[in-house]
Amino acid sequence: MSCKSNETCVKELEKNDYLIIQKCINKVLETKEGISIDSYLVKPYLDQVSFKPYSKEEIEKTFKRLEMSFDEVVSMNEESANCKERYYKDLSSLSSTNSDAVVFSTTRLYGDLIQIKLTSYYGEVDEDKIKNEEKLDINQMYEYLFKVEDENVKILLQSSTFYD
């Protein structure tokens, strides 16, 4: 997706994207972090890619193994950031509730790479709080970099940050 500066982008996901994002969320729920998650909200906006939690060595090793250019991925991410709002109404339909302390967010990175973040907040979050960019107190964040392989998803990198 490419948008002009200050343009509001309201898009629908392609059916395949929708299914892949759901598979990524399901994969996270299968991990030890997902054991206690009964309900969750899915942020209906695409996030910026974040590689902060990963070491330089992890990033280089992963992208070398994938035979991809890290710089190209970062460049494509910056191009998609030109959208003032990147609202995807289909993402909110992946939510299991209207508000929750657990929120999933996603970023379509490059080709068959997707980043999913699971963020646990102190207190309830709903779509309006996300849309209005209210200050929310983060409890924990788990970040995952997925590779899509023939309709399956594989976790390439994962990290966790605790804010307690």
Q: Where are the alpha helices (DSSP H) in 4-69?
A: 15-30, 56-66
Which of 157, 164, 155, 135 shows the shortest CA–CA distance to 52? Answer: 157
Q: 86 pLDDT exceeds 80?
A: no
- Nearest CA to 139 among 117, 161, 163, 118? 163
Mean pLDDT, range 149-158, rounded to an integer: 86
Alpha helices in 44-164 (DSSP H): 56-66, 70-80, 89-92, 127-131
Most confidently modeled range among 104-108, 115-119, 126-130, 133-137: 115-119
> What pLDDT score was predicted for residue 5?
46
Q: What is the pLDDT of residue 49?
A: 76
- 134 vs 78: which has the higher pLDDT: 134
How much is the pLDDT for 9? 54
Would the pLDDT of 76 be above 70? Answer: no
